[in-house]
Every structure is written in structure tokens, then in C-alpha cells.
Structure 1
Amino acid sequence: MTDVDALTALTRGDRRQARELALRGTSLLAQALATYLDTEDTGSVYDQPAAFEAFISGGGNVGLYAAVEAALADQYRELAPLRLADIGCGDGRVIGNALALGGHLPDSLTLVEPSAALLAQAVRALTPSRAYAGTVQAFLSEVDAEFDLVESTFAMHTIPHVERTQVLATLRHRTERLVIVDFDVPAVEHGGPEHLRFLAETYERGLSEYTGDLVAQGFLMPVLVGQLTPGALASRASRVTWEQPATAWREQLEKAGYASVSVVTLHDYWSSPAFLLTAE
């Protein structure tokens, strides 16, 4: 039995068999998966953000976010944006650290975050000009605002592909520059054998960076299981990530109408290398 067998059962919608197979395994992934599949899925991983906050505060995320903050600080030094927006700002720590590092204070700061709990923390830390508790889709439909720079770190992949193209196209008319930080995942068929092997190997590495069950059960397992649920390619009910290779991000931005798109690698990471994309 391999961890891939358990993940394969998940793609068929057979949680019971997936748990039985995981119980036979000895890996960190097998143990975490068996524990998680013994419970019912409850809401979004961002509704109660303790696990997510523990995740981004430890392991390889320490070096990852340091690299991200430095890259954003470079953007602020170059552009000195007076009207700045962060989409999917989380608790605000990344943009807060980047602003301090870059020595920049915009005239107007807009924060967009679906998790009310995370947004409340960001507001307390940053006192933005505007804070929107909702999706970027809803924000763009309800708020008519333009920006010098819109940034989004590890958040755009939570939007399904078709919806994301629409969001990117709308942002093209709302900002001078768009900056996206995300992961350059391999170009493999979603749910196929190569994809499942990739997930098994990378999640085993990720789990090894944390102790206890908080991160495993509160964040990593929900994200893993949610993307393998039958119909997950289109479903928003359980899936929270629609990642894609950096080349696909470039193509999507170009499809959305951006004339200039550049991608640079930022940091190696246990799941996939992180990249910085700028589009105008």
C-alpha cells in the first residue's frame, strides 16, 4: 500500500476506503490522512484561522515569507504607489512587514479578505483606508476604485480558473501594475497518477515541518482532501486551491489583456518554487 492508493480512493469519492488504506500506512501523510478522514469536513479552513496562522508562522514559510516581503518592498521602492491594494491580505503581516521594509506609506491602503477573522487582525495592525470582508469578485462588482499597485500573495489560486480570468481582466482596468506571488506547480493532469504522486511526496515533506495536529488537521489535510473530491475541478464546496504552473499564469494574464507580463523565481519551497509575477 502506498499513500498514492489512499489519495486515489479519494478521487473516486471513497473516503472509507481511503481511510482504511491510510490506516495501514506508516508515513506522516498516512497518519494525518487517517485522522482527518475520521471526522466530518466543517467549513472553510480560514473560518477559524488558528491553524492557518500556525502554518504560515512555521516551517519553510519563515524563509518563504521573508523572500516575499523583500520582493514586495522592492516594488514599493520602485513605484512608490500612492493607492495600494492587497487582495487576500490574510492577517496583514506580509504587507505590513513589506511596507516597513520598503519604508513606504501609501496615501490609500485597501485590504480585501474573505475571512472576517483574518481581516479584523489586519485592520487592527494596519488601519487601512478601506477594508472589504469578502471575495475579490464581490469587491470589484461593488467598489469602483483604481490603484497604482494591486498585489496578491498566495491568494489568487483560491479562485476557480474561469472566474480568475474575469477578475484579472477587470483588474487590468483598475491598476497600473498587478503583482502576484504564487507557486509554480508541475504541469500534470489534476487527479492523475503523476499529480497524486506529487501530492503524496510534497505533503509528506510539508507535514515533517510541523509538530502536533493543529496545522495537519486544521489546514494541510483539508486543502489536500478538498482538491481531490470528485468534481473538485469545478466545485467551490470543498476545494480551496486551483493552482497552476507559472507558464499557465503568464498565459492567463495575457488572455486577460495584459501587454507586459514577467515572472521570476523567488524562493524554493517544500511544495513548489514560489514566483513573483508582474503584469501591466
Structure 2
Amino acid sequence: MTVEAFRAVVAAQGGSLLGPALTRYLESGAQGGVYATPAGFEAFISGGGNLPLYEKTSAALAGLYEQHRPDSLVDIGCGNGRALLPALQQSWHRPSRLDLVEPSAALLEQVLPQVPAAVEVHTHPSSLQAALAGLPEGVRWSLAESTFALHTLPPDERSEALARLRTRVDRLAIVEFDVPDEVPGGPEQLTRLARTYEQGLAEYVHDAEQFDLVAQGFLMPVLVGQLRPGAPRVTWEQSSGRWQEQVSAAGFRDVQVRALYDYWSAPAFLLTGVA
């Protein structure tokens, strides 16, 4: 079992935080649901390296608004607005129409009261695939953006969704992590995951309550989903080169990538393309 191989790697590296956290999670018998009950996710993005990460992300989005002046904007997987809302506040240009695609109703409810009053908001409490399938004919956006959300779609579903999205937008902006292309369950992947998750957990150790919520409510289920066959999986990350290839294959042109922030799990980047 890959989980047991991973635990051996963690023990060999002397993971003082990751080992006990992983053991506790496995013994609890918990099953996924990291976005359906988002307390762990919210605690995670509210601390550690996520603070400068989201500052850089929001600034990059605000720069795109000012550069391209979109009349309409769709944010795919907006979460609680951690990236979107500061970007709208920072930019001197705001779209007149904003669509929010977010499967978690609990997260979506947090965003709505904070959107600037002059912006017309449309909500889609569903996946991207469902939102596109139910979209009225003629609706399209000047800009589609997604921050740390499209990696939650399996690769084949993501390719199909990107191809459908291309027919509805003028421009695309994606912020994701540049994760090395590795053999799933291979020694390189297991070693990297052990090293990076230990580092990630260390950013929350100063607050015992937050540490427990982040570890058991978010990081451990995300980790185990990548390691245990049949476990609920919530992330399919890939290298920036693979992202470029996938977006280009969906029909987007002039696909470019630039570095955004050196995050603990992998460097974050901004990808842009033209439909």
C-alpha cells in the first residue's frame, strides 16, 4: 500500500509533525469532505504561507483587470473570495457583471455580501461542468479566472471543461502550483510529499487549535487522497508545462506562464491565454 510506503519515508526523514498527524487521521477513519465542510480549508488559507501567496495572487488579478478592463468576469472555484475580493478592491477597474462558480454553498454565502455594490452578481452553486451545462445561450465573459481550483478536476474532466469554457470567454487566467511530473507512488513523489507536508504543517504549529483543524480537516485528507487507492481524491496537480499543454489543447492561444510566489508545496504561477 502506498500509504505504508509513505509512512516509512516520513519515519526515515524524522517527520516530527507529519508522522503523528497522519497516524491520527488514518486511525480516525475520516473520509474526505474537505470542501463540503470547509472549516479546515478556511483555517488553512487563513494562515502560514497562504497569506503572502494570496496577496501576490490578488495583486496579479487586479493587474489583469486594469490591463484588459473586462466588462464581465467569472471566477471558477471562488471559495470564500480570498483572492477575488481583494483584487476587486485593489483595481481601479471593476467588471459590471460577476459570475461566481463554487460548489460549496457555505463558502459562496461568505462572498456575496462583500462584492462591491455596483457589480451585478450571478451565482452558480455547482461544479464548473454543471455551470457550463446550464448556462443560457449567449452568456459569455470577457475574462475567466480560477485560483487554486482547477486542480480539483480529474485531468480528462478538466480538459473537457476547458474546451467548453473557451467558447464562452475572451481571456483566461489560472493560478496554480508547478508540481513536478512524477510517477504516482514512486520514491520521488513520496519523498517530496513527506518533505513539503512537514514544512506546511510547521507553519501552523504556533496555534494548537488551528494546527489540529488544518491537519485533520484539510492537509491529511488531501494527502491521503493522493496515496491510498480508492480514497476520496481532491487534487490532480501537474507541472506548469502540462498546464500550458492542456490549456493550449483546449483551444486557447498565446498561453503564457509567469512565476508568482515560491510556496511551500510548490511554486505558484499565473497562466494566461486568449480564446
Q: TM-score, normalising length from structure 2?
A: 0.90
- Secondary structure at the counterpart of residue 253 of structure 2: coil
CA distance in 1, matches of 2:167, 2:159: 13
CA distance in 2, matches of 1:179, 1:87: 10
Q: Which residue of 2 is the match for residue 54 of structure 1?
A: 43
Alignment of 1:119-268 (within 5 A): 119-126=108-115, 129-144=121-136, 145-211=139-205, 212=208, 213-230=212-229, 238-268=232-262
Question: Are the counterparts in 1 of residues 31 and 232 from structure 2 also a CA contact under 8 Å?
Answer: no
CA distance in 2, matches of 1:188, 1:207: 23
- Secondary structure at the counterpart of residue 94 of structure 2: coil
Sequence identity of aligned pairs in percent?
53
Question: Are the counterparts in 1 of residues 2 and 228 from structure 2 also a CA contact under 8 Å?
Answer: no
Question: Are the counterparts in 2 of residues 10 and 225 from structure 1 also a CA contact under 8 Å?
Answer: no
The answer to whether residue 91 in structure 2 is matched with residue 102 in structure 1 is: yes
CA distance in 2, matches of 1:229, 1:133: 29
Q: Out of 19, 28, 52, which is 1:63 matched to?
A: 52
- Secondary structure at the counterpart of residue 129 of structure 1: strand
What do residues 93-136 of structure 1 show as CA deviations (whole Å, max 9, x unaligned)? 31110011112221100000011110111122227521111100
Q: Out of 98, 101, 107, which is 1:112 matched to?
A: 101
Shift of 1:26: 5.4
Q: Which amino acid aligns with 2:110?
A: Q
* Larger RCO of the pair (alpha carbons < 8 Å, separation 6+): 2
Q: Which residue of 1 is the match for residue 80 of structure 2?
A: 91
Question: Are the counterparts in 2 of residues 10 and 229 from structure 1 also a CA contact under 8 Å?
Answer: no
RMSD: 2.0
Can you give the 5+ residue segments of structure 2 that lack an aligned partner in the other structure? none
What do residues 67-117 of structure 1 show as CA deviations (whole Å, max 9, x unaligned)? 000100000000111111100000113111001111222110000001111
CA distance in 1, matches of 2:2, 2:24: 14
Can you give the 5+ residue segments of structure 1 that lack an aligned partner in the other structure? 1-5, 12-17, 232-236
Question: Are the counterparts in 1 of residues 225 and 232 from structure 2 also a CA contact under 8 Å?
Answer: yes
Shift of 1:43: 4.3
CA distance in 1, matches of 2:67, 2:171: 12
What do residues 136-172 of structure 1 show as CA deviations (whole Å, max 9, x unaligned)? 0000001132000000000000000000001111111
Q: Which residue of 2 is the match for residue 41 of structure 1?
A: 30
- Secondary structure at the counterpart of residue 83 of structure 2: helix
